[in-house]
Amino acid sequence: MTTTKTYAHYVEWLNSDQMHYASKEWLSELRFIRDEHHFFEDLITTFTSLIIETGKFSDTKEIIDAINRSHKRTNLLIEVVKTHQNDLQIMVDGIDQLEQEKAYTQEHRVLIITIADFLKEYKSLKLQLFDIIKNIKKEEKQKHLIDKK
């Protein structure tokens, strides 16, 4: 007799209110991130001369490219979440459309994972950018102190 391994899949049942609330939260967070991208662009513009002076331009260029990719992905995710919110009508219209409702719920589960992964990557990107700016500020401060002596 052979045994087969089975894996339990625990799926949380989500009602339409929970999915709507989650979509609103995602949209709010993504819009905030989009605004942060503008702040990062201004921050990098402010420190461009110091970045070039310290010789960390290649590292910073990679971060700038990553920020631009993140900005594009943010805009794409905002559109996807808006569409997802608009499609919620399928769940609340009172008509039994089992296949469409199942597809919507599956799409929501995919979005949960996609948004979580994006937020994790974004946090890492943000930390890298702030580390670069922090190091530049430290070097500038040390250089300023040495020049005063």
Report whether 67 contacts 37 (CB < 8 A).
yes
More confident residue, 78 or 45: 78
pLDDT-based confidence at 102, cuts 50/70/90?
confident
pLDDT-based confidence at 55, cuts 50/70/90?
low
Report whether 87 contacts 102 (CB < 8 A).
no
The mean per-residue pLDDT over the stretch 112-134 comes to 92
Give residue 103's pLDDT: 86
Looking at beta carbons, which pairs linking 82-86 to residues 24 or more positions away fall under 8 Å?
A: 82/27, 84/23, 84/108, 84/111, 85/20, 85/23, 85/24, 85/27
Dihedral of the CA atoms 120, 121, 126, 132 (nearest 10)?
Answer: 130
pTM summary value: 0.78
More confident residue, 11 or 127: 127
The mean per-residue pLDDT over the stretch 52-68 comes to 76
